[in-house]
Amino acid sequence: MKNETDMTATASTLDLKDELIEVYGDCAIDAFLECWSIDDLKHFEDVFLGCFGSDEKFAEERIFYHEATALSPKIAIDWKETWNNIKGDYVEQDAHYFLRNW
C-alpha cells in the first residue's frame, strides 16, 4: 500500500498530466510517455520541441529557426542527411520531437 506522500505525488503528477494535455494535446503527452515515464512529466516543457510532418522538416526547423544559422533559404540542403547528423540529440515518437536530455 502506498503511503500518503506517494498518493499526493501521484495526484500531483496526474494533475500535471491533465494540465499538459489541455495545453499540448493528448498526442504530444502520449508520445512523451512512450519515451519516458509519467514521473518524468515535470520535464515535458523543457524537452518538447513540437510536432513535424517528417524528420527532414524537423531538421530544417531546428537549423533555420532555432540554431541561429545564417544560411540563405536558396541554398539546397539535404535535410535527410542533416537529420541523420543531428538525430542523436533528439527523440522522435509519432512525429513529436523532444530533446534527448533535460
Query: Residue 75's pLDDT is what?
Result: 63
Calculate mean pLDDT across residues 27-56. 95
Provide the pLDDT confidence category of residue 102 given band limits of 50, 70 and 90. confident
Q: Mean pLDDT across the chain, nearest whole number?
A: 84
**74 or 97, greater pLDDT:** 97
**31 or 1, greater pLDDT:** 31
- For residue 72, CA distances in Å to 31, 57, 60, 63, 69 come to 33, 16, 12, 11, 9
pTM more than 0.75: no
